[in-house]
Amino acid sequence: MARALVNIPPKAKRGEVITIRTLMSHQMETGFRYSTTGAPIPRDIITTFIATYNGEEIFRAELFPAIAANPFITFTTVATESGTIELTWRGDNGFAASEQATITVE
Amino acid sequence: MAGRALFVGLMLLASVTPGAHAATLELPPAGASSCGGCHAPPGVDTAVPTLHGKTAAEIVAQMQSFRSGAQPSTVMDRIAKGFTDPEIEAIAAWYARQK
Amino acid sequence: MMKHAISRRGVIAGLGAVTLGAPFVSAQAAPRVVVIGGGFGGATAAREMKALLPGADVVLVTNERTFTACPFSNLVIVGERELTAQEFGYRSIEKAGVRVAYSAAKSVDGSARVLTLEDGTTLPFDRLIASPGIDINWEGLPGYGMAAAEKMPHAWKAGTQTTLLRRQLEAMDDGGLVVMAVPANPYRCPPGPYERASLIAHYLKTRKPKSKLLVLDAKDMFSKQRLFLSAWAALFPDHLEWVGLSKGGKVLSVEPESLTFVTEFGRHTAAVANVIPPQRAAAIAAAAGIADATGWCPIDPATFESRLVPGIHVLGDASIAGAMPKSAFSANAQAKVCAAAVATLLTGGTPPEPRLINTCYSLVTPDYGISVAGVYHPAGGVIAEIKGSGGVSRADAPPDVRAAEALYAKGWFTTVTREVFG
Amino acid sequence: MPSTCKPSNLTSRRDALRLMGAATAGYALTIVRVTPLAATPADMRTAIEKITGGAKVSAGRVHLEIPPLVENGNTVPCAVTVDSPMTAADHVRAIHIVTEKNPQPNVISCRLGPRAGRATVSTRMRLSDTQTVVAIAEMSNGSFWSGSVNIIITLGACLEDLI
């Protein structure tokens, strides 16, 4: 279901600061809207984004309804060693998705 | 145009107060100047009909039926909805005076 | 206020100076209006100004002797029209009594009310109307610049760029990938990229059916989107792919040597590359002090007078015109309203509240037209759409309605170019 | 018009779209009415106090990069960069973005550390109106710094109601 776009460099030099771009498809329903019948549309957003590098947390974000649909988050990290970068999104109504990418550090 | 120029000139000649001058300019009513972007004077051959030579009553009736949807249209229904009856009447009267 | 000795009385031949005197002006002075920009906005304003105030000394400043119109230039790109059909001169405008200065506007002294041209001419004015249009923001897209535009044409100012893109499409082997980059708002002609995408897809489908167009867009939403998307799905399912912002469509940089587009999440290499770059008000706007930090010109919505420099009015693509899009139709409509406001101010009156109309036609194929229209008025300090008016063509319209809109599009171009340049 | 809409007259579909903005291409909305919600500068101050625990916030070191003129408040690109060496001894612990007039002031709160290498994050946010956006950085020494920028939101000219 969930569709993610991730841009992590496959290779980097040791100590290099790399940019990680992420986008998760999600409508981010704000909870501030009403349907045609006047009933409030319940909030349905991604609330948490976590990035780990070989299991160690390197970045975390708490998201609010003011984040645009299809949350886009870009951050940086230092390429320390070869391994796996894992990205996890969690949200309302049990939303959970993750993406992995391997990076080779020379 | 020549008539309007002469008119403005004469009124300026007879000027009294600054405020009087605004009245001497014969400005088209609100919205009317935009119409000429699509509606050409007679002699220009396009798919869009000319407004010159129509009576004010004809233009008013047409605009009202565009606005109500009684007259099917492609774009004029959307434009007619931006004007009140008095605005349409003013535009129609102004076009009826154009030669 | 007239601060300058009148040196151009000779220009206003045929009109007795006495008829020109307004009470707040020295007795012999003709109001001097200088208009920057020979496009739809400027040329309309100059002509309308002269028609409303025949006694005024109206000077139109344009750096080209031939104006090349952008509307319908997408048909030129795909070989359905010749560039000469887009070209217009200023002879009729001169005949109407407007003096035309063929030079570029260089600087404006807003307090002394003098415009200086590249050729050194100085033009004092009582009111300046600026309709300078856009400049490409050459710093706005890394990798893109004037040299890159020879390899990856923008074709967003009609002329040699238009024919360059056309030649590249004609020279492309069947099976090639055409890639177009579309910027975020604001830019000239909001639906323009999508009309161009449609017509290129139509060209590929009919002439080079193994080829495809990839549109990389920095937006998720665009003008007439639903109409375009449904037309593309029906007409060009194999020839046009649109990638919006949230699908990774935003182009971060280009590599002109290899015709490569670098997006947030990938790379695309083209056989033919069309980069529609970020834009801003033409350079004279910043030089005149009428552009703000946004790169565009804030205005009073009733008179188009600059919020930054009194006595200068700004219209057309360079202005921040609220809900009105940056279109030739808008510029033409705004110019007439602006000229009326300037004429009223010069004769001591209070400009009336205007109504403005815009209609943007787009061609999906040469015989398939769609449109968005709006009626506008000043509200709350900006130009706002009148509630309940306007909108886009019906989604379920039959082919004869689409064909009629294509004809109306052509009718509009014929009429407006005749009104302005004919 | 965005810059003139009072909360009480946010009733048109276009306003609804602009304010709440879940619409992406082809996504059918069923919304006709928008609740008249808008935070106040006081709400923003409260949100900031909650972030800082009442500590003093100094202006500076935090740079917000947002286009000054935005036609579509649904998707406003935003980058925050903080002047920091990002060493173990001296780094940014958190970056927060808050708004003045959105229905809820908070936009995002990011936790980072020296492993980030640079103190910079980007996202895309929703802005309900022309307003001030504030970014706050929490440093490893416990100090708070902020930068702010005023963003003009205009109605997306020529934009179609996707309803």
B7 touches chain C (CB under 8 A): no
| Run of H or E residues at A89 | strand A83-91
Distance, in Å, from the CA atom of C419 to the CA atom of B27, rounded to the nearest integer, reads 17
Q: Where are the beta strands (DSSP E) in C340-408?
A: 356-365, 368-379, 382-385, 391-392
C353 touches chain B (CB under 8 A): yes
- Chains touching chain C, criterion 3+ CB pairs below 8 Å: A, B, D
Same domain, C165 and C120: no
Distance, in Å, from the CA atom of C200 to the CA atom of C178, rounded to the nearest integer, reads 9
Nearest CA in chain C to D71: C185
Indicate the range of C115-119, C383-387, D34-38, D86-90 predicted with least confidence. Answer: D34-38
Domain range for D110? 38-153
**Among C14, C126, C110, which residue's Cα sits nearest to residue C59?**
C126
* Count of domains for chain D: 1
pLDDT tier at D68, thresholds 50, 70, 90: confident
pLDDT of residue D40: 72
- Chains touching chain A, criterion 3+ CB pairs below 8 Å: C, D
For B34-82, how does the pLDDT look when each residue is reduced to its tens digit (9 = 90+)?
A: 999 999 999 898 999 999 999 999 999 999 999 999 999 999 999 999 9
pLDDT tier at D129, thresholds 50, 70, 90: confident
Q: Which residue has the higher pLDDT, B26 or C291?
A: C291
Backbone angles phi, psi at C220, to 5 degrees: -95, -25
B94/chain C closest Cα distance in angstroms? 15
Chain B, chain C: beta-carbon pairs less than 8 Å apart: 173
Distance, in Å, from the CA atom of A25 to the CA atom of C250, rounded to the nearest integer, reads 15
- Chains touching chain D, criterion 3+ CB pairs below 8 Å: A, C
User: Which residues in chain B are contacts of C371 at CB distance < 8 A?
Assistant: 74-75
Contact check, Cβ <8 Å, D108/A33: no
Q: Which residue has the higher pLDDT, C92 or D155?
A: C92
User: Which residues in chain B are contacts of C347 at CB distance < 8 A?
Assistant: 12, 18, 21-22, 24-25
Same domain, C265 and C286: no
C14 touches chain B (CB under 8 A): no
- Give the alpha-carbon dihedral of D62, D68, D70, D76, to 10 degrees: -10
Domain range for C191? 148-279
DSSP D157: T
A7 touches chain C (CB under 8 A): yes
Burial D57-90 (b: 16+ CB within 10 A, else e): beeebbbbebbebbbbbbbbbbebbbebebeeee
Contact check, Cβ <8 Å, C246/A21: no
pLDDT of residue C344: 96
Residue C88 buriedness (CB in 10 A; 0-12 / 13-18 / 19+): buried
Output helix, strand, coil percentages for chain B, rounded to the nearest 5: 55, 0, 45
Chain centroid offset of residue C86 CA? 14
Structure tokens at D111: 């936790």
Bond into C186 cis (ω within 30): yes
| Neighbouring C-alpha atoms within 13 Å toward the C-beta of C321 | 37
pLDDT of residue C19: 37
C53 touches chain B (CB under 8 A): yes
**What distances in angstroms separate CA C274 from CA C145, C148, C210, C232, C269, one per listed residue?**
13, 11, 19, 19, 12
Question: Chunked in runs of 10, what are the mean pLDDT values of chain C (422 residues)?
Answer: 37 36 50 98 98 96 97 98 98 98 97 96 97 97 98 98 98 98 95 98 98 97 94 98 96 98 98 98 97 95 97 97 94 98 95 96 97 95 93 94 96 96 94
* Count of domains for chain C: 2
User: Which residues in chain C are contacts of D67 at CB distance < 8 A?
Assistant: 184, 294
pLDDT of residue B16: 36
State the CATH number of the domain containing residue D100.
2.60.40.2470
Does residue C38 form part of some domain? yes
Does residue C101 form part of some domain? yes
Structure tokens at C121: 């001419």
Q: Which of D22, D30, D75 sits opposite A27 (nearest CB)?
A: D22
**Do chains A and D touch by CB distance (3+ pairs < 8 Å)?**
yes
Contact check, Cβ <8 Å, A21/C247: no
pLDDT tier at D37, thresholds 50, 70, 90: low
**Where are the domains positioned within chain A?**
4-31+41-105
β partners of residue C260 = C255, C269
Same domain, C153 and C176: yes
The class of domain B31-97 in CATH terms is mainly alpha
State the CATH number of the domain containing residue C251.
3.50.50.60
**Among C363, C341, C399, C367, which residue's Cα sits nearest to residue C189?**
C363
For B2-13, how does the pLDDT look when each residue is reduced to its tens digit (9 = 90+)?
A: 444 444 443 443
C191 touches chain D (CB under 8 A): yes
Residue C376 buriedness (CB in 10 A; 0-12 / 13-18 / 19+): buried
Q: What does the angle CA C63 – CA C66 – CA C68 come to, to the nearest 5 degrees? A: 100
Could you say which of C236, C259, C279 is where a domain stops?
C279
Mean pLDDT of A86-106: 97
Does residue D161 form part of some domain? no
Could you say which of C352, C367, C398 is where a domain stops?
C352
Q: Where are the beta strands (DSSP E) in C138-238?
A: 177-182, 212-217
Contact check, Cβ <8 Å, C19/B75: no
Residue D34 CB partners (closer than 8 Å, separation 6+) = A32, A33, A34, D10, D11, D15, D16, D19, D20
Q: Which of A27, A62, A72 sits opposite D27 (nearest CB)?
A: A27
Backbone angles phi, psi at C369, to 5 degrees: -115, 150
User: Which residues in chain A are contacts of D112 at CB distance < 8 A?
Assistant: 58-60, 75
> In chain A, pLDDT over 70 holds for what percent of residues?
98
Contact check, Cβ <8 Å, B25/C55: no
Structure tokens at C339: 């000229």
pLDDT of residue C156: 98
pLDDT of residue C8: 39
C390 touches chain B (CB under 8 A): yes
Q: Which of D22, D37, D99 sits opposite A66 (nearest CB)?
A: D99
Q: Which of A35, A59, A63 sits opposite D30 (nearest CB)?
A: A35
DSSP C29: P
> ipTM higher than 0.85?
no
- Give the alpha-carbon dihedral of A57, A59, A64, A66, to 10 degrees: -160
Backbone angles phi, psi at B41, to 5 degrees: -65, 165
Nearest CA in chain C to B44: C415
DSSP D152: E
- Domain(s) labelled CATH 1.10.760.10 in chain B stretch across 31-97
**Among B81, B37, B42, which residue's Cα sits nearest to residue B63?**
B81
pLDDT of residue B25: 81
Contact check, Cβ <8 Å, D68/C293: yes
Q: Which of C246, C247, C264 sits opposite A7 (nearest CB)?
A: C264
* Cβ(C334)–Cβ(C354) below 8 Å: no
For residue B63, give the 3-state DSSP assignment. helix
B36 touches chain C (CB under 8 A): yes
For D109-126, how does the pLDDT look when each residue is reduced to its tens digit (9 = 90+)?
A: 999 999 999 999 999 999
Instruction: Report the CATH fold assignment for A4-31+41-105.
Output: Immunoglobulin-like (2.60.40)
Residue C388: CB atoms within 10 Å = 12
Residues 227-266 of C with CB under 8 A from A: 246-248, 264-266
Could you say which of C302, C322, C352 is where a domain stops?
C352
